[in-house]
Structure 1
């Protein structure tokens, strides 16, 4: 702690400009042993006296020095006791769930040190929308991007001259993360979620605050303390999902869903060492997926545990998932129809709430302007400016609502609805539909599967699928041999080409193969150049 006044006092004592230091009591000079004994040392060197309400002391005399030292020690101890008692009083109040330094947006203080949900409908709906979209998107960043894209503002508490007030802003990432990770929105009271670290840098104490504790280390946690926006069970699910989405939290976290073609990224775990498998992409367009375990290679310099192509493994797990989910296809189709309408209505509802609030504020500004004396231009001009600002905001929101009405997504027609229901009955067709993105498939896999343990045994890949709920399924997938891949020409066709090559030209071989209905590995018809290329590669 910097004490410029105390430092000036020491400087004046050292320059012999002070003959006696007067204080009501010793604690008023210093409550730190180092500062107190430094003062005594300098006073003893230059012969400066110290005086309090009990007497006058000369630090050069042994008895006075001893008494002054005891006074300083008692002052330091007294400060420590005061601090300890104050902190313990705060902790006792926190254990009762009554300690609130600030109240999170969406709540307000009630009587008897309690809190209640904000009565403002727009505030409540905006916060509930964040939790609803997270349940849909399963990613904090995706919720943040959606809110910014739809220009939906979230409430924030701003300290003004008249006290705290609600302002509406386009959210930043930390705003969304704070809403989703604060247990107050799950109806729980929490205290001691963070702690401080004290270090000494360049001879000065540095305090860094805000280090987060694990939930098990929180000092106070009182579930069902007040009315929440979500249940405690949903809050815990959200925290697990946010933790799994972290891409820099070691090999035990799944990582967030990304745009790569690897469907099982983050789900596969090595059956030999237990580490999470990594994903790599190769090929001309980068579509060739490969899973491999490189943890032992990076950490210990040993060989990689396992590595295999992703095409057959992804297909096998997807087929098993579709078999399990087949009875739920109709329900998923109905949910898709409802979700299509809900997305549009949420944005429209938030804009209508914003318009209601803006019109109220514009009316309030008009009434304030009408109440002032027009001749008092110092006040009237400012109130007129505020009224104009509110009218501009009303006009902006009205234009936004008009744009939403113009771009409103049409509800599915009867024909589209029947087609969607047909897709729901055929889950496999729905899974491979061009409109189903890779991210959607990954979210479905992560919803149904906890993890997949992979182990290579000979020429096969043994998979153990751990489903949500505790069930397990074992799958065996053949592993590609060297030189074999999905575009490999059938062995029977290769033997036929070698036999015909003794008597026919490449063009003649191509004609015979096409008449026999033989195709290349990619399903194409044979040509002279393709026969020549095959013979060059296989002899």
Structure 2
């Protein structure tokens, strides 16, 4: 059918859309003829009857692949205008320019058929509503997609063939370079090599990526990092992401690896990354080039990182942390066999350690299997470790000193490398400044400023190195060495030293103990501790469970017995003073720093009532003491006379609550003459007392 017959008047009333695309920016820059051919299609549209102002050119997708339409804004704009009936014809040099994907191509054909829009390529004009034209366009789309697959397969096949031989050149991580022959070699910069070596040694020592980052920050060391798409290497503080990326890179083990990740495009055009299992890597060639660690060490590092990131597993050996739980990661439940976790609780101003088996509760909603106080168990384990380590303590201390000296020496070597690099940069800046023409002040000022910056950096690095040397020397002077040797004569002193970090205790424990199984017996108030040492030897200990809160605040039986004894001869106020004088505290508290934890009258009265002790009143009545009315009737005197007799010791009075008393009964026969004589004695004593007071008053007035 003639092209002009397919173009109708209603087509010419709408716009003519020219879509231009090339797959990469390199093609845009180098394949200029293809671009000219695509722009030349404007003449075809003019020849078919469209005016120049009706021709709309869409070239915003230059440098974009046609494998999908999700990331091509120009193609999406074209489809939108076609669907809204604005396009009379869509022009492209060939089908592959519009789409390399059958789904996108057939979607465009369907929309063009519904909107009565024509399609033009270099071969002719097509009407998608016509069956024969649509069949031909569908065939062209299939061939375009197959062509893309063939191109990719050829390129991919060549790359994979090189990959299998280990010859495909991939971007190298920091610390490696390609030599002139194309072989992978270690970076010739000694500072870079030594810093990377120190990184792997530090990780082997501390067993954690985060602790490695902290060690670098503590020592003031900078880690090398290559600028993206450049050979320039800069030194900056080590981060956790850099540490993890370095530990997971097999190139540092001298292994040529390719295909560690699988990339896929999602519906929205984004890349989806999935890590492959090492067995699925496209290439894994050990000993392909020099490395900083061995392949076995690389595999061990990966296992350590994996174990650090697990919450539960059959065998867990997590890296030591700052917490007080001595058996962190090594406690096994004696009931279900699961590993117990450490939990900390802030109670009464101090942090308590608990070992909790909560796996069944977290996964199945069941009650906690066991919850055991950790401080009695840690204390028993500490005493056992101290007894085991005492014979070898001196030798261990010397080895620790050597290890610390070696670490400080390595850190100083790395700082010295940084100083040397800064000195080289300063010398280079100086030579550049000396070679400049003095009359060119604009360039000379800039070079002089750069020289001053380099000198300032050199001075700062030298001061940092000297300060670090002074600190290291302070840590390893002879006084500390002699103190360390003296402490090793009794390893218990070293173990209980408050300045020793908990992390170091756990590291020492890891060399001796494989795991510890705990089994709690609440009825007996104790816990069985089964220790399995490395090498197979076992040991069993028994620790007492701490008292509950109610038991801790309960008054001790010996204090109750003492109060019972004191009630025979003392009132509650006197008993309170006696207990406080003996520094006996109420309840289960024995802390002397609690000034408010003292006995009062009410506390003593509460003990008497709570424990059912006989009161002071009942005890006096059992001994025959009389009330005031009974004593007056017995003696035939008034109450005022009885009070006066008691005041002057004629009658014995016994207090039972601080302000009320009972009286000791007189003999069986008290004659009236004796009572009269007691009254005379009482009156005489009162007269003597009044006379003494008058004489004292006269003497004061005379003065």
Q: Indicate which of 287, 303, 311 corresponds to 1:250.
A: 311
Which whole-Å CA distance do the structure 2 matches of 1:467 and 1:328 have between them?
Answer: 17
Asked if 1:189 is matched to 2:256, the reply is: yes
Which whole-Å CA distance do the structure 1 matches of 2:155 and 2:497 have between them?
Answer: 64
Point out the structure with max Rg over C-alpha. Answer: 2
Q: Indicate which of 176, 181, 201 corresponds to 1:132.
A: 201
Which whole-Å CA distance do the structure 1 matches of 2:509 and 2:551 have between them?
Answer: 24
- Aligned counterpart, 2:464: 400
Relative to structure 1, is the Cα distance of residues 118 and 378 closer, same or farther in structure 2, using a 3 angstrom cutoff?
same
Q: Indicate which of 410, 423, 433 corresponds to 1:346.
A: 410
Relative to structure 1, is the Cα distance of residues 510 and 485 closer, same or farther in structure 2, using a 3 angstrom cutoff?
same
Query: Aligned with 2:224: secondary structure?
Result: strand
Q: Any gaps of 5 or more consecutive residues in structure 2?
A: 1-69, 612-703
Q: Indicate which of 426, 429, 435 corresponds to 1:365.
A: 429
- Aligned counterpart, 1:50: 120
1:8, CA displacement in angstroms? 5.0
Which whole-Å CA distance do the structure 1 matches of 2:545 and 2:375 have between them?
Answer: 10
Which whole-Å CA distance do the structure 2 matches of 1:230 and 1:260 have between them?
Answer: 32
Asked if 1 retains the 8 angstrom alpha-carbon contact of 2:89 and 2:117, the reply is yes
Asked if 2 retains the 8 angstrom alpha-carbon contact of 1:254 and 1:266, the reply is yes
Which whole-Å CA distance do the structure 2 matches of 1:78 and 1:255 have between them?
Answer: 54
Relative to structure 1, is the Cα distance of residues 113 and 42 closer, same or farther in structure 2, using a 3 angstrom cutoff?
same
Asked if 1:38 is matched to 2:113, the reply is: no
1:190, CA displacement in angstroms? 3.2
**Farther off after superposition, 253-262 or 170-179:** 253-262
Asked if 1 retains the 8 angstrom alpha-carbon contact of 2:532 and 2:539, the reply is no
Asked if 1:461 is matched to 2:527, the reply is: yes
Relative to structure 1, is the Cα distance of residues 375 and 43 closer, same or farther in structure 2, using a 3 angstrom cutoff?
farther
Asked if 1 retains the 8 angstrom alpha-carbon contact of 2:87 and 2:117, the reply is no
1:405, CA displacement in angstroms? 4.6
Q: Any gaps of 5 or more consecutive residues in structure 1?
A: 515-519
Asked if 1:294 is matched to 2:358, the reply is: yes
Give the paired residue count: 520
The 5-angstrom pairing of residues 70-469 of structure 1 reads 70-110=139-179, 113-159=182-228, 163-196=230-263, 199-200=266-267, 204-209=268-273, 212-213=275-276, 218-246=281-309, 249-252=310-313, 255-273=318-336, 274-326=338-390, 328-376=392-440, 379-410=443-474, 412=476, 416-456=480-520, 459=524, 460-468=526-534
Which whole-Å CA distance do the structure 2 matches of 1:12 and 1:529 have between them?
Answer: 90
Q: Indicate which of 451, 454, 473 corresponds to 2:538.
A: 473
Which whole-Å CA distance do the structure 1 matches of 2:554 and 2:213 have between them?
Answer: 49
Query: Aligned with 2:473: secondary structure?
Result: coil
Higher relative contact order, chain-length normalized (CA < 8 Å, sep 6+): 1
Which whole-Å CA distance do the structure 2 matches of 1:356 and 1:101 have between them?
Answer: 31
Which whole-Å CA distance do the structure 1 matches of 2:276 and 2:219 have between them?
Answer: 34
**TM-superposition CA deviations, 1:302-351 (whole Å, max 9, x none):** 22111121123213333444455455423321122223433443343222
- Aligned counterpart, 1:517: none
1:356, CA displacement in angstroms? 0.9
**Farther off after superposition, 171-180 or 8-17:** 8-17
Query: Aligned with 1:6: secondary structure?
Result: helix
TM value normalised by structure 2: 0.63
- Aligned counterpart, 1:66: 135
Which whole-Å CA distance do the structure 2 matches of 1:287 and 1:11 have between them?
Answer: 66
Relative to structure 1, is the Cα distance of residues 113 and 492 closer, same or farther in structure 2, using a 3 angstrom cutoff?
farther
Relative to structure 1, is the Cα distance of residues 290 and 370 closer, same or farther in structure 2, using a 3 angstrom cutoff?
same
CA-based RMSD: 4.1
- Aligned counterpart, 2:627: none
Asked if 1 retains the 8 angstrom alpha-carbon contact of 2:255 and 2:285, the reply is yes
Which whole-Å CA distance do the structure 2 matches of 1:494 and 1:419 have between them?
Answer: 44
Query: Aligned with 2:270: secondary structure?
Result: strand
Query: Aligned with 2:231: secondary structure?
Result: strand
Relative to structure 1, is the Cα distance of residues 431 and 406 closer, same or farther in structure 2, using a 3 angstrom cutoff?
closer
**TM-superposition CA deviations, 1:131-151 (whole Å, max 9, x none):** 233334333223323323443
Which whole-Å CA distance do the structure 2 matches of 1:472 and 1:220 have between them?
Answer: 45
Relative to structure 1, is the Cα distance of residues 452 and 16 closer, same or farther in structure 2, using a 3 angstrom cutoff?
same
**TM-superposition CA deviations, 1:204-262 (whole Å, max 9, x none):** 233344x545556655443333322233333333333333434xx42235555333222
Query: Aligned with 1:31: secondary structure?
Result: coil
Which whole-Å CA distance do the structure 1 matches of 2:92 and 2:164 have between them?
Answer: 44
Which whole-Å CA distance do the structure 1 matches of 2:262 and 2:566 have between them?
Answer: 79
1:66, CA displacement in angstroms? 1.5
Query: Aligned with 2:366: secondary structure?
Result: coil
**Farther off after superposition, 411-420 or 302-311:** 411-420
Which whole-Å CA distance do the structure 2 matches of 1:97 and 1:466 have between them?
Answer: 48
